[in-house]
Structures are given as C-alpha cells and as structure tokens.
Amino acid sequence: MDFNKRKRVLFSREEINTRVKALGDELSNHYKDKNLLVVSLLRGSFIFAADLIREISVPLEIDFITTASYGNDEISSGTVDIVHDLRSNVEGKDVLIVDDIIDSGYTLERVIEHIKEKNPKSIKVCVMLDKPSRRRVELTPDFNGFIIPDLFIVGYGLNYGEHYRNTPYIFTFD
C-alpha cells in the first residue's frame, strides 16, 4: 500500500461535525416518543455512529452487526455475510440502521432483510455518505450526510486495507 499518495480532502472535520449535528437534530425529531434501536454496521460506521448518537437527544439503545463483503478490495463482491449478529431484541422497536456509506446497496439490502425477520416496528437507514451512481439495488437511505460522486474515499471510519479509519476527515487519493 502506498501511503505517500496525494490526498484530496472532500469533507473536513468541521463539515462532518456540522452535518452530524444536523442529522442528530433531524433524527431526534423523527424518533421523538418512539422506542429507538440504533444498529451500527461494523466496522466502518463505528465512528459515525458514535458521533451521531451523541447528537440524538431521545433515549435510544445501540447494538452492532458485523458484515463482510469487501475484504481489502475497492468494490463489493456482491455477497454479504453477517459475521456477528445483534444481541438486542428487535421485536416491536423502531430500528435505525447506521452505516458509513451506501454504494451498491448490497450490504444494506441484506441487513434490512435480516432485521425484518426479527419483527421490528419500523426500519430506517441513515448513512454518512450516499453514492447513488453505484447503486445495484432499489434502495435509498432515509437520512444521509452527503451525496458523493463515484470516488474511492477513505477516512472517518472508511478504510483502505484496514488503514485510515482514524482519519478525522474524508478524502480520496489523486
């Protein structure tokens, strides 16, 4: 892996913080008086999910699902495995699935179907980044941070070969 490639910042730490706060307000209004269970898809969304739930002002429960579809590749294999399942009881809860990015949609489609089997009251999706030009399934997130073009991006939880997740901004390589 070439760590010396030139980086181009797409979203600064400040832009991300501002957008996450706005999403938190929107979600707080939407989930007022509901039984909210936030489901973070590991590993990519853990930073976004942690920042987001701190901005949601209504009571919530959080749980995690680990999926695998990329490996160290830049594109999804199309096959999505659930590596670690939820511990929480989902039945009757309003589930908000939080992910770092939606591009093909395969992962979120698989997770939604998996959670539907557990009889939630509702399921909605919130992503930090939406890349609609890469969509391969009919799926649009209910809430999103930013819509982006077809670029390979890293930082703020998104990795490249398991590196850069801890970068506090989102960038691409030139």
Split at pLDDT 50, 70, 90, the class of 80 is confident
Q: Could you tell me what percent of the chain has a pLDDT over 90?
A: 82
Q: At CA 84, angle to CA 119 and CA 123, rounded to 5? A: 30
- pLDDT given at position 125: 98
- Here the tokens at position 19 are 């957008």
Cα R_g (the chain), whole angstroms: 16
Burial of residue 87, with CB atoms counted within 10 A of its CB: 0-12 exposed, 13-18 middle, 19 or more buried? exposed
103 flagged as catalytic: yes
Which of 103, 130, 142, 150 is catalytic? The answer is 103
- pLDDT given at position 70: 54
Contacts of 126 (CB under 8 A, 6+ apart): 23, 27, 52, 96, 97, 98, 99, 141, 142, 143, 144
pLDDT digits (tens, 9 = 90+) for 117-173: 999 999 999 999 999 999 999 999 999 999 999 999 999 999 988 899 999 999 999
**65, 96 contact by CB (below 8 A):** no
* Domains of the chain and CATH, by start: 19-68+79-148 (3.40.50.2020)
**147, 133 contact by CB (below 8 A):** no
The rounded distance, in Å, linking the Cα atoms of 124 and 33 is: 16
Provide φ and ψ at 56, rounded to 5°. -90, 125
